Amino acid sequence: MLKSFLLRRLQHTLLLLTLVSMGSFLLLELAPGDFLTETTLNPRISPQTLASLRDRFGLTKSLPERYFYWVRSAAQGEFGISFAYDMPVRALIWPRMLSTLLLTATSLGLAWMIALPLGVWAAARQGSWPDRLLVLSTSGFLSIPELVFACGILIIAAKTQWLRMGGLPLAVCVLTPVSLPLLLRHIRAGVLTASGATYVRAARAHGVSEMRLWFRHVLPAASHPLISLFGLSVAGLLSSSLLVEVVVGWPGLGPLFLEAVGARDFYVVTGVVSLSAIFLAAGTLLADMLLYFCDPRIRMN
């Protein structure tokens, strides 16, 4: 039962990866120019050198050929080579990915740790002034664009010298408040819906204590949408911070990706995109697995 489910998910993931990598190849092919276009403008580089470079990078080959080269290389764990850095993509991406993960996992964990108790607390006091204040401030935060917020924090950090530029605390300070309001809203709404269920009222009518009511009935019921949300945030671990990294100068995948897209560094772009797709698949799989263990209705059907 679980095995066939996992097997099916693995097939889906492979299909997704194939489609994403193909799409990424195709889109880059459609964009004008290639990695060496700018070099062509340099009069000091002879056409012979250019041709030999083209040949070395495999740019003279057809698109399907290049794609199959990439697939073979990916199967060996190299994911092609970077033209700009002249090294295997994996070796280039790996440390960058770790540093992105350090940033996103820290801020995500922090956001959940703040949002969960605060959201539940607000829902339990629905309509009171702290609750209203919270709802109001989350809408305020949601309406500020991510970049504007990041710049604001940067300015404050630069003026007060509290946080070092390019350091982890600064980046976390930007990224956590960006994801916090949405989480908070979802958690509050989820708990509110759950606490309005008939079986919660029934448990109350049976004389079940408030403590038990919350921990046995309301919170497990509220966890349902929150697990899906958690899966989505895991899926976004690589991609959610790209812009913020560029702004605050965090040496993660963001700056590398931006640079690679600008320079048409083919395999690097495809590598990063495929990696995000893997995270997406892993995040949804994680959510499904958690739901599977939490909800007997899914487990038995």
Nearer to other proteins, 10 or 294 (CB): 294
CB of 207 to other proteins, least distance (A): 3
CA end-to-end distance (rounded Å), the chain: 9
From the list 275, 274, 253, the residue with the least C-alpha distance to 102 is 253
Number of residues that bind other proteins (CB under 8 A): 24
CB-CB contact of 66 with 25 (8 Å): yes
Interaction between residue 215 and other proteins (CB under 8 A): no
Write the single-letter amino acid at 60.
T
d(CA 176, CA 110): 7
Mark residues 267-296: x for contact with other proteins by CB under 8 A, - for none: ---------------------------xxx
d(CA 88, CA 220): 46
d(CA 256, CA 245): 10
Write the single-letter amino acid at 51.
A
CB-CB contact of 204 with 213 (8 Å): yes
What is the DSSP annotation of 217-282?
IIHHHHHHHHHHHHHHHHHTTTTTTHHHHHHHT--SHHHHHHHHHHTT-HHHHHHHHHHHHHHHHH
Give the three-class secondary structure for 71.
helix
**List 43, 64, 207, 262, residue binding other proteins (CB under 8 A):** 207
Nearer to other proteins, 194 or 256 (CB): 194
**List 203, 219, 232, 282, residue binding other proteins (CB under 8 A):** 203
Interaction between residue 30 and other proteins (CB under 8 A): no
Interaction between residue 3 and other proteins (CB under 8 A): no
Mark residues 160-199: x for contact with other proteins by CB under 8 A, - for none: -------------------------------------xxx
Residues 123-152 close enough to bind other proteins by CB under 8 A: 127
CB of 201 to other proteins, least distance (A): 6
CB of 227 to other proteins, least distance (A): 12
CB-CB contact of 111 with 138 (8 Å): no
For residue 47, give both structure tokens.
């056409």
Q: Which of 26-34, 58-66, 152-160, 214-222 is the region at the interface with other proteins (rule: CB under 8 A)? A: 214-222
CB of 288 to other proteins, least distance (A): 16
Nearer to other proteins, 94 or 199 (CB): 199
Give the three-class secondary structure for 207.
coil
CB of 200 to other proteins, least distance (A): 8
Residues that bind other proteins (CB under 8 A): 127, 197-199, 201-210, 212, 216-217, 220-221, 294-297, 300
